[in-house]
Structure 1
Amino acid sequence: SNPPAAVSLELSSFQLETISKLHPVVAIWLNFAPDHMDRYPTVEAYRAAKLRIFENQTADDTAVIRTGEELAGLKAKVVTFSTTDSSADWYSEGHTIEHGGEAWLDMDRETSLRGLHNAENTMAALAACQTLGISQGTMREALHGYAPPPHRCELIRTLDGVEYLNDSKATNLHALESALRSQTRPVVPLLSKKALAVVTFGQIARPLADLFSTAVSCESVSTLADAVATARSLAPRGSTVLLSPGTSSFDQFSGYEQRGNAFRDLVHQLR
């Protein structure tokens, strides 16, 4: 069979530590946050390992980066994307993706992807594909049929004008922050500037409620089932109920998948 025209790789800092000849035609930098500090002596060392993805690129290659990321010394052509800076090569306010002053894609109408972080991911992918000469029509067709993986801001259903999103994969605070920042509607149950209330559950429910209570109304319950029922009672039409725990699931579940599946089942049982 013929070899693929292109290969897409997600590379961890662990893998990038040992590269010597890796030469991506397109390298994408979505964002950066401290992680794996049990492996790296400093945040700077972790960042340096991640930056090696650009190491062997030349002026004939492309680096796709989010506007505002300080990445000095890049040799490749830089293509930018942003949800805050309309002067970026690719821009979205969360719904419509624009490029070259033209609307390219309506995220809400043409895809099942939701949130600013998914707009960023989509813009980065579109920029990479355009660099490789893939047509706009082919890209749009692929996105129309794309089903996002479960447990990552997964839209479960809309009931009485309220969206229910399953982001059980958010097992750390950076993922939680991304999920909250990505919302364009008032949110229940977790903390954001547009939060209506916080519903906490599980082993650390009370400490979390105490922490958030200075900023927003809080409800503390024992189980996920109670949390869903409480959020249902608090969420008005036009808002979002978001399961985005920001921590592991091992107090009540075997993993984030089981927690997300339980949330999905509970939401489908709502009447």
Structure 2
Amino acid sequence: MIIEGKHVVVLGAGRSGRAAANLALSKGAHVRLFDANPAASFDGLDPRIKVHSGASDVVGRATQSDLLVISPGIDTYGAFVKAFAENTSELIGETELAARYFDGKIVGITGTNGKTTTTELVERILNHSGLSCVACGNYGVPFSEILLMEDVPDSVALELSSFQLETVSKLHVHAAIWLNFSADHMDRYSSIDDYFRAKLNVFINQTEEDTAVVRAGEELGGLVAQHVSFASKGQKTDYYLDGDRIMFRGEQIFDLSQTRMRGLHNAENVMAAVAATHSLGVRFSKAEEALAGFAPPLHRCELIRTLDGVEYLNDSKATNLHALDSALRSQTRPVVLIAGGKEKGLVYDELLVRLEEKVHSAIVFGEISSALEQLFSKVVPTTCVETLDEAVALAQKYAYAGDVVLLSPGTSSFDQFSGYEARGDHFRKLVHALK
């Protein structure tokens, strides 16, 4: 791609937009950066980039460009982007811009849940195996920043949201991971089919020499790349779970009991990462070495401690219904569930089957506690408390050796905390104080 001397317009002054603007400038383009916020910050930009805050649709329609690059946080289909797109030759996203200049291997990771953990696993395995790798995209740094590094890595672990995948056309992912799919971001998409089609772009431009790593049961249609399957249940897949052992076509390749990874969903994340890196030539033994000391990202089914035979897991990042369901689905031990927080108007009825299957006691707290108690008590003994402190104290009383106490709120934290991180940190403090 040659943009030297071309006029490039970048929308969005967040980190992704600034990275795209700097990358375009480094390739010789004339760059302008627009943001709708009148108080937008343009820190970290080369002074040769012309900046415009408080941009409007009117400004967009009056702006011409050879290439329009949009940040993932801006609605591709909204009026703001459409206005700027009226007078441009091509519209792409920041991820697509970076992909056109990156010559290394790309492992692309998408899915509704589990992307960040899997991205970290891929990065760790590849670096341990001698193929330098940086996590980027929807997690870590923007992809465009990779191209501006003094030493560009051999590969990237590229977490891809549907927002980033909406605006790709030439992105070529050598190993594509599809973890799972369920409804999300329905405030952005007119239908779940639109969301699904955006996600499918992770496979765009793959050839028969590439690899598609797909969770069993996901109906994706015909894929050109070599298909590798995984699942935590059943043995009709390439990668599967036998107790704590991850198996590959009948051979043990990994022992999860030697790691801090807990839950079936984390087992699937490991399978997907190992499968993708194996397709790039990494030996299973190297992957096992790399993950021996790995702990999941904070607040994502993070094992805090084991006390009196009870595991305490911090899944404060579960701020929606699907994340809570995923955390419950992954548990192999009986669960004492701690849930609750801000009232977001979500409908939790579909959780009842999972609650009945996995949970023997539920403790609910926060603004939404009364509504959750009324619903959850239909299938499981449920106690309503006001604070997380009370919930943890009760959970210790309710849990037996062999159980797991799972903080997986299923909603945001803003009724009592500044964010899910603060909620998870407080839970960690409470658990470590237990005797």
TM-score (norm 1): 0.97
Aligned residue among 185, 188, 191 for 1:42: 191
Is 2:299–2:424's contact at 8 Å kept on the other side of the alignment?
A: yes
CA distance change for structure 1 residues 79 and 89 in 2, over 3 Å: closer, same or farther? same
Q: Deviations along 1:149-190, whole A, 9 cap, x unmatched? A: 110001111111111100000000110001001111000025
User: Secondary structure of 2:246's match?
Assistant: strand
- Counterpart in 2 of 1:264? 428
Is 1:94–1:115's contact at 8 Å kept on the other side of the alignment?
A: no
Work out the percentage of aligned pairs sharing the same amino acid: 60
Q: Deviations along 1:106-156, whole A, 9 cap, x unmatched? A: 112x21100000000000000011100012222111101222211000111
Q: Distance in 2 between matches of 1:188 and 1:121?
A: 24
Aligned residue among 203, 228, 231 for 1:79: 228
| Residue 230 (1) aligns with residue 379 (2) | no
User: Secondary structure of 2:173's match?
Assistant: coil
- Counterpart in 1 of 2:316? 168
- Counterpart in 2 of 1:98? 247
| Residue 51 (1) aligns with residue 200 (2) | yes
After TM superposition, give the deviation of residue 94 of structure 1 in Å: 5.6
| Residue 221 (1) aligns with residue 388 (2) | no
Is 2:366–2:386's contact at 8 Å kept on the other side of the alignment?
A: yes
The residue type equivalent to 1:164 in the other structure is Y
Shifted more, 255-264 versus 130-139: the winner is 130-139
After TM superposition, give the deviation of residue 222 of structure 1 in Å: 0.5
- Counterpart in 2 of 1:116? 264
Is 1:94–1:119's contact at 8 Å kept on the other side of the alignment?
A: no
Is 1:153–1:166's contact at 8 Å kept on the other side of the alignment?
A: yes
- Counterpart in 2 of 1:63? 212
Within 5 Å, which residues of 2 pair with 1:119-134?
Answer: 119-134=267-282
TM-score (norm 2): 0.61
After TM superposition, give the deviation of residue 193 of structure 1 in Å: 1.1
- Counterpart in 2 of 1:156? 304
The residue type equivalent to 2:233 in the other structure is T
- Counterpart in 1 of 2:36? none
The residue type equivalent to 2:169 in the other structure is S
Q: Deviations along 1:206-257, whole A, 9 cap, x unmatched? A: 1101101110111110100000001111111110100000000011000000
- Counterpart in 1 of 2:119? none
User: Secondary structure of 1:8's match?
Assistant: strand
Q: CA RMSD in A?
A: 1.2
User: Secondary structure of 2:202's match?
Assistant: helix
After TM superposition, give the deviation of residue 8 of structure 1 in Å: 1.1
| Residue 204 (1) aligns with residue 353 (2) | no
Aligned residue among 148, 155, 171 for 1:6: 155
- Counterpart in 1 of 2:285? 137
User: Secondary structure of 2:227's match?
Assistant: strand
User: Secondary structure of 1:199's match?
Assistant: strand
Q: Which runs of 5+ in 2 are unaligned?
A: 1-149, 339-354
Q: Which runs of 5+ in 1 are unaligned?
A: none
Is 1:187–1:239's contact at 8 Å kept on the other side of the alignment?
A: yes
- Between structure 1 and structure 2, the one with the greater Rg is 2
Q: Distance in 1 between matches of 2:301 and 2:242?
A: 17
CA distance change for structure 1 residues 48 and 94 in 2, over 3 Å: closer, same or farther? farther
User: Secondary structure of 1:45's match?
Assistant: helix
The residue type equivalent to 2:226 in the other structure is K
User: Secondary structure of 2:358's match?
Assistant: coil
